[in-house]
Amino acid sequence: MQRVVEAVRSRAGEIGLLAGLVLTAIVVTSYVHDAATGYLMDLSVFQDAGRAFREGLPLYSADFPSTSGFRFIYPPFAAVLFAPLASIGATVLQVGWTVLNIVLVWWIVRTVLRALNVPRATVVAIAVAGVALLLEPVRSNFAFGQINIVLVALVVADCLGVLPRRLRGVGVGLAAAIKLTPAAFGLIFLLRRDYRSVGRVVGTFAATIALGFALLPQASLWFWTTEFFLSDRAGNHEFVRNQAVTGMLARVGVDGVVADAVWLLAAAVVVAAAWWAALRFVRAGEQVAAVGVVSLAVLLGAPFAVTHHWVWCILLVPLAIAPAYRSWRPLLASAALVFWIAPYIAFVEEPNGWIDAATRQLIGNAQGLVGLVLLAAAVVAASNRPARAGAVPAVPEDATSREEASPPAVPAS
Q: Pseudo-torsion of CA 271, 273, 278, 284, nearest 10°?
A: 170
Rounded to two decimals, the pTM is 0.91
Query: What DSSP character marks residue 95?
Result: H
pLDDT of residue 398: 56
Cβ atoms 133, 27 nearer than 8 A? yes
Comparing 11-15, 76-80, 118-122, 379-383, which segment has the lowest mean pLDDT? 11-15
Nearest to 295 by CA among 328, 265, 264, 319: 319
User: Distance (Å, rounded) from C-alpha 326 to C-alpha 320?
Assistant: 7
- What percent of the chain clears pLDDT 90, i.e. is strictly above it? 79
User: Distance (Å, rounded) from C-alpha 110 to C-alpha 315?
Assistant: 10
Treating both helix axes as pointing N-terminal to C-terminal, what angle do 287-301 and 256-283 enclose, rounded to 10 degrees?
180
DSSP labels for 266-306? HHHHHHHHHHHHHHHHHHTT-HHHHHHHHHHHHHHHSS--B
pLDDT of residue 386: 75
User: Is residue 37 pLDDT above 50, yes or no?
Assistant: yes
User: Distance (Å, rounded) from C-alpha 53 to C-alpha 202?
Assistant: 25
Nearest to 372 by CA among 275, 312, 297: 297
User: 230-258 b/e with 16+ CB inside 10 Å = b?
Assistant: eeeebeebbbbbbbbbbbbbbbeebeeee
pLDDT of residue 268: 97
Query: So where are the chain's domains?
Result: 232-393+404-413
User: Is residue 11 pLDDT above 70, yes or no?
Assistant: no
Query: What DSSP character marks residue 135?
Result: S
pLDDT one-digit tens code per residue, 127-162: 999 999 999 999 999 999 999 999 999 999 999 999
- Amino acid at position 67, single letter: T
pLDDT one-digit tens code per residue, 235-291: 788 899 999 999 999 999 888 899 999 999 999 999 999 999 999 999 999 999 999
Q: How confident is the model at residue 410 (pLDDT cuts 50, 70, 90)?
A: very low
Q: How confident is the model at residue 9 (pLDDT cuts 50, 70, 90)?
A: low
